[in-house]
Structure 1
Amino acid sequence: MAWSKGILPVRLFSLSKVGRSIVSGKWCNELGSTMDLKEDENGQISGTYITNAEFFKSNSPKEGAKLVGYTNTHKKNGTTTMTTTITFCMAWKEEGSCSGFTGQIFKDDKNLDVMKTTWLLHSPVDCLKKNWKTTCVGENTFRKNQ
């Protein structure tokens, strides 16, 4: 991979859409953050998220939060099919911030589950004039523990 000033290398995955819901289970991202998700029959998600991100350096090495979310369902040719789009959020009690993730689950070249997400992290500030610096945006790639 070539490096260019101000540009980070991106690893491209050959991803294909997954035709069934595979959300439930343990997931880990490239930073070492983990989540344990459970999806019910209505597409609602619950679980826990343990962050390993630098945003949350504190007395405890990793902060955890409960998460809630949804997968999307749609009808195709008269059948109900769970899509692989996903959204979930959590409130970070120790930091006072909130995160929201959206993404989709794919199969990689080795037929393993990969969740590509984009996230927003909103941190508290003490006045409206400082609101401009409250939101961070980023991406994470989670892989399901097999």
Structure 2
Amino acid sequence: MTIMNVNAKGVFTGIYYMSATMKKTEESPLQGFQHLPNLLSQPTFGFTIHWSFSDSITVFTGQCFVGDDGKEVLKTMWLLRSHVENIKNDWKATRVGVNVFNRQQLQE
């Protein structure tokens, strides 16, 4: 995942990279909001991914923590909603999970 700059209101955009196979990585847009770091030292945030390769949307919410080693980590929970054709299949359309993201240095 690459998050672009956060604006003065805490709004950000980015790209989420997903590889279902080793052959191809798909890119999907994301948009989110966070409390600004100057207001909270370890801000809460949320973002949504519109998957470009499926009929699903995922929402993430979490918090950015700074560990004792000074490294940032994003701890999240997510809901993925898939399209279903009728209400009888609604029960299997939402999945729940967690992810932990660590900041990586940009590669030149």
- Determine if the alignment matches structure 1 residue 49 to structure 2 residue 16: yes
**TM-score for both structures, normalised by structure 2:** 0.83
Question: Per-residue deviation at 1:50?
Answer: 0.7
Do the aligned partners of 1:105 and 1:114 also contact (CA within 8 Å) in 2?
yes
1:76-100 Cα deviation digits (max 9, x unpaired): xxxx614510100011132110000
- Determine if the alignment matches structure 1 residue 81 to structure 2 residue 39: yes
CA–CA distance in structure 1, aligned partners of residues 12 and 3 of structure 2: 10
Do the aligned partners of 1:71 and 1:82 also contact (CA within 8 Å) in 2?
no
CA–CA distance in structure 2, aligned partners of residues 117 and 89 of structure 1: 12
Question: Per-residue deviation at 1:71?
Answer: 0.6
- The count of aligned residue pairs is 103
Question: Per-residue deviation at 1:61?
Answer: 2.7
CA–CA distance in structure 2, aligned partners of residues 82 and 47 of structure 1: 22
Aligned residue runs from structure 1 range 6-17, under 5 A: none
Cα RMSD (Å): 2.1
What residue is the counterpart of 1:64 in the other structure?
27
Which residues of structure 1 form unaligned runs of 5+? 1-33, 75-79
**Does 1 or 2 have the higher relative contact order (CA < 8 Å, sep 6+)?**
1
Q: Secondary structure at the match of 1:38?
A: coil
How high is the sequence identity, in percent, across the aligned residues?
32
What residue is the counterpart of 1:35 in the other structure?
2
1:1-43 Cα deviation digits (max 9, x unpaired): xxxxxxxxxxxxxxxxxxxxxxxxxxxxxxxxx3333211110
CA–CA distance in structure 2, aligned partners of residues 145 and 132 of structure 1: 37
Q: Which runs of 4+ in 1 moved over 4 A?
A: none
Question: Per-residue deviation at 1:126?
Answer: 1.5
What residue is the counterpart of 1:127 in the other structure?
86
Do the aligned partners of 1:71 and 1:85 also contact (CA within 8 Å) in 2?
yes
Question: Per-residue deviation at 1:62?
Answer: 2.4
**TM-score for both structures, normalised by structure 1:** 0.63
Do the aligned partners of 1:96 and 1:124 also contact (CA within 8 Å) in 2?
yes
